Structure 1
């Protein structure tokens, strides 16, 4: 697993219960997801590696779970979105799972998925974790955080407006 040239050194991400994950820098969000899944899989000897930001082949992290029944290679994709994640992202993940020869794919977002996404994922080795699932998983591992999509949209829109007026 260590020989994959896409892997980069992981970074510890500092945040607390007042940090709005929907406003976190996308690269920090990817490292946060890696940290979270490292905690999730390390209990039974699993490892998680984060990939470089570009030319990652649609993979933000790869987990290897040594469990002989439910384990194997797991592709993890992180989407720090303020809008609904469309079915295209789920299709892309499925293609990546097949291309990587992985047992499973996990798509994690700060927002939620549309009905088409849930429908496409049915019967496939794909797990869709929305913002609520993400907060629950963080809490399970002793970390409190928050996701406020409305606040994130407002701040991001204000930022865009300010950039338009200053240029």
Structure 2
């Protein structure tokens, strides 16, 4: 007897074969896509490498044929530019400092605290001190640090419209310990209370009040006037009656 098949059995077998073939075709296509993607990635890396190589070669040629033959001139120009920049900056700093030092005591009274510190810095520089400004906040009691020879000084600046009390003296003394200076000053455009003066004397803090500050200003202006005037201009003439 011949074999008997149930209805639809052959069709199911054909469907499985077709499905298996389809999977094999998809697998081959995926492999080809992966290979093509890998090939393109390698080509992209090679192209990028070649581009970077060409750029490096162009820079090398530029250095060899353009910069290297004239390197002495280029270096000289660079040094000259740096020198001019430093000179202009120094001149600008000097001009600004001179403008600040032209202020009189009434103009100082109208300054804010930061401007007063800048003024004192310029004044002390003119008096021969090396000046360093402390940070605006967290200064530990000192607004300026002065150095002159073996002397180091912590300065507390107080631009006040009223008298300066004990607290400023305490701050200056604390700054002396923190910055390890050998002197501490409090400078104000006003005056000090009696308690502040007594306390400063006990702990050896120098107090510079309005009168002493004016004295510093006058000495500076007189010194500047002496530089401006020539020796011939200030030499007195001898009259006929003064001759021996």
Relative to the length of structure 2, the TM-score reads 0.48
Residue 147 of structure 2 corresponds to which residue in structure 1?
64
Q: In angstroms, what is the RMSD of aligned CA positions?
A: 2.2
Deviations 1:9-68 (A, max 9, x none): 99635343474311112111101011111122x2xxx411122322222211101121xx
Match of 1:112 among 166, 182, 191: 191
Q: Secondary structure of the equivalent of 2:178?
A: helix
1:79-114 CA-to-partner distances (Å, cap 9, x unmatched) read: 000111011110111111122211001110011001
Q: Which has the larger radius of gyration?
A: 2
Bigger fraction of residues in strand: 1
Aligned length: 127
Equivalent in 4, 12, 20 of residue 107 of structure 2: 20
Residues 77-156 of structure 1: pairs in structure 2 closer than 5 A: 77-142=156-221
- Gaps of at least 5 residues in structure 2 are 1-92, 223-244
Matched, 1:75 2:154: yes
CA contact (8 A) 1:63 1:75 kept: yes
RCO higher in 1 or 2 (8 Å CA, sep ≥ 6)?
A: 1
Distance, in Å, in 2 between the alignment partners of 1:36 and 1:124 is 26
Moved over 2 A (4+): 9-20
More helix by share: 2
